[in-house]
């Protein structure tokens, strides 16, 4: 929707073909961080792209509010990655050092903090917190409001949204694309595949490749309480509405989106060790959602060599990257430079290297 909104704002005639309410849709089940620290190990371009999106986020939030009247509650108070033992502190410090030592890495500000320094930022931490990494660029947003606002903004910019239009097949012929859906066939001059997990099946129809798999994450939400967190913790955040969200699971469970008390209890136990006052709150909701996880964890942006006018965008961390997707990708799609002059590192051809013998 970020790409669709961005294209519609540029005056393009855009139709979004989507599935119905029953669909795997990470955008309505995520944890809503706009997160910079720790992104990009193995691809320094991704670290830079993430940092740029975080920097563009204030512009996105203002533009959305101006065009829709909806406040998506973006804030950037800085984020803490809390650590529960000296071993975790050492391993985190090493990981961030390795990230920053990569060739081409654009450094971002972060600090490793001991217990007392963390307590100054977040006085509610428990005695078991050994330390944390802190990054002032980290923030969050109200992700459900963001999704709604992008839909509203898209419609106001003249876009047309078609639910219950799952695309089963795409043909490229005579300079146009024919998209087959249960509700009929639709013709378009250009196509952007931004169908999350659905991209894996659709991409090869247009000479593209989107090796993505589902990766489950579970989330706990508590009752609403008065604001008490000055900073965001990478697995615990208090929303603008007062509820506390806890998200700490990364599971390879295929397309199974079920919640399970085994994982939830581990998440709750770690969260209570980090912030003991959470033990007093009632849990009101839990859910699981499927991440759209590319094979190497990094976004895939590409355009087809064989079907001119076909583009692909797929990623994990699409909330963080929404500012880039709304404010940068549309002009690259318009110009036909996506993955050519621009964002070359993110093309799918990185998956096609021959194994070393």
Output 23 or 152, the one with its CB closest to ligand FAD.
23
**Residues 210-239 interacting with ligand FAD (rule: CB under 6 A):** 217, 219
Token pair for 174: 């005579």
**Which residue sits closest to ligand FAD, CB atoms considered?**
198
The Cα–Cα gap between 185 and 183 comes to 7
Token pair for 278: 């959470």
Among 291, 303, 326, 339, interactor with ligand FAD by CB under 6 A? 291
**Residues 240-279 interacting with ligand FAD (rule: CB under 6 A):** 247
**Residue range at the interface with ligand FAD (CB under 6 A); choices 11-19, 70-78, 255-263, 335-343:** 11-19
**Residue range at the interface with ligand FAD (CB under 6 A); choices 83-91, 192-200, 238-246, 326-334:** 192-200
Element (H or E) spanning 120, and its range? helix 115-121
Token pair for 17: 């073909």
- How is the beta sheet containing 310-314 ordered, strand by strand? 191-193, 310-314, 300-303
Is 14 among the residues that bind ligand FAD (CB under 6 A)?
Answer: no
Token pair for 31: 């944890």
Q: Within a 10 A sphere around the Cβ of 306, how many other Cβ atoms?
A: 9
CB 26 to ligand FAD: min, Å: 4
* 297-326 footprint of ligand FAD as x/- string (CB under 6 A): -----------------xxxxxxx------
Among 7, 8, 14, 18, interactor with ligand FAD by CB under 6 A? 18
Among 51, 129, 167, 348, interactor with ligand FAD by CB under 6 A? 167
- The alpha carbons of the chain give a radius of gyration, in whole angstroms, of 21
Q: How many CA atoms within 13 Å lie on the side-chain side of 90?
A: 3
**Residue range at the interface with ligand FAD (CB under 6 A); choices 25-33, 89-97, 264-272, 337-345:** 25-33
DSSP string, 140-209: E--HHHHHHHHHHHHHHTT-EEESS--EEEEEEETTEEEEEETTEEEEES-EEE--GGGHHHHGGGGT--
Is 194 among the residues that bind ligand FAD (CB under 6 A)?
Answer: yes
Output 17 or 191, the one with its CB closest to ligand FAD.
17
Among 27, 38, 133, 304, interactor with ligand FAD by CB under 6 A? 27
Q: Within a 10 A sphere around the Cβ of 254, how many other Cβ atoms?
A: 11
Under the rule (CB under 6 A), what is the footprint of ligand FAD? 17-19, 23-27, 29-33, 35, 166-167, 194-196, 198, 202, 217, 219, 247, 289-292, 314-320
């Amino acid at each position: 929707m970020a790409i669709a909104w961005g294209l519609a704002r540029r005056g393009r005639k855009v139709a979004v073909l989507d599935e119905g309410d029953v669909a795997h849709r990470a955008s309505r089940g995520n944890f809503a961080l706009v997160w910079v620290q720790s992104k990009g190990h193995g691809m320094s371009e991704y670290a830079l792209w993430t940092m740029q999106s975080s920097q563009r986020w204030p512009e996105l939030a203002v533009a959305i509010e101006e065009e829709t009247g909806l406040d998506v509650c973006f804030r950037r108070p800085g984020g803490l990655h809390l650590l529960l033992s000296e071993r975790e502190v050492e391993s985190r410090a090493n990981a961030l050092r390795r990230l920053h030592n990569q060739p081409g890495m654009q450094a971002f500000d972060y600090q490793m903090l001991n217990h007392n320094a963390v307590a100054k930022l977040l006085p509610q931490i428990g005695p078991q917190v050994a330390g944390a990494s802190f990054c002032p660029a980290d923030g969050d947003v109200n992700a459900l409001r963001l999704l709604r606002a992008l839909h509203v903004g898209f419609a106001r910019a003249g876009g047309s949204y078609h639910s219950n239009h799952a695309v089963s097949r795409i043909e490229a012929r005579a300079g146009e694309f024919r998209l087959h859906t249960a509700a009929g066939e639709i013709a378009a001059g250009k196509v952007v595949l931004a169908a999350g997990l659905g991209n894996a099946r659709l991409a090869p129809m247009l000479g593209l490749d989107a090796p993505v798999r589902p990766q489950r994450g579970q989330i706990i939400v508590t009752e609403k309480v008065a604001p008490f967190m000055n900073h965001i913790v990478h697995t615990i955040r208090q929303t603008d509405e007062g509820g506390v969200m806890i998200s700490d699971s990364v599971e390879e469970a295929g397309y199974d989106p079920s919640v399970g008390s085994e994982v939830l209890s581990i998440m709750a136990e770690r969260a209570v060790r980090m912030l003991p006052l959470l033990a007093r709150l009632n849990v009101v909701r839990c859910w699981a959602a499927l991440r759209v996880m590319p094979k190497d964890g990094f976004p895939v942006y590409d355009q087809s060599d064989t079907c001119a006018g076909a583009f692909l965008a797929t990623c994990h961390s699409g909330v963080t990257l929404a500012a880039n997707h709304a404010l940068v990708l549309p002009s690259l799609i318009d110009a036909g430079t996506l993955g050519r002059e621009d964002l070359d590192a993110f093309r799918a051809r990185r998956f096609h290297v021959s194994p070393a013998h």
